[in-house]
Amino acid sequence: MYKKIMVPLDGSELAECVLPHVEAFIKGFNLRDVILVRVVEPEGIPAYRVEGNILSQVILERESSRKSATEDYLAQIGKRLK
């Protein structure tokens, strides 16, 4: 019946309460594809201007750090589901 499922997560314990149900779906429907999703909001841009591209670089570094942390989190969840 199902070929894939998508599981939205926000990093909270409450959201992770769905994982036992996901495991049941995986076993019950013999799923091979489980898509784990977590949104990374873009860094807000301040209303004031800073000279040079230092601000742009800081924003990109913060976003990159959050994306990396999200990827690590989703990889950990993926390992738990295997």
pTM for this entry: 0.80
Q: Where are the domains of the chain?
A: 4-81
The 10s digit of each residue's pLDDT in 6-58 is 999 999 999 999 999 999 999 999 988 999 999 988 877 665 665 656 677 78
What are residue 33's DSSP bridge partners? 4
Angle at alpha carbon of residue 51, lines to 65 and 57, rounded to 5°: 15
Residue 19, class by beta-carbon neighbours within 10 Å (0-12 exposed, 13-18 middle, 19+ buried)?
A: middle
Handedness of CA 12, 13, 18, 24 (dihedral sign): positive
**pLDDT number for residue 58:** 80
**pLDDT number for residue 52:** 58
**Mean pLDDT throughout 62-72?**
93
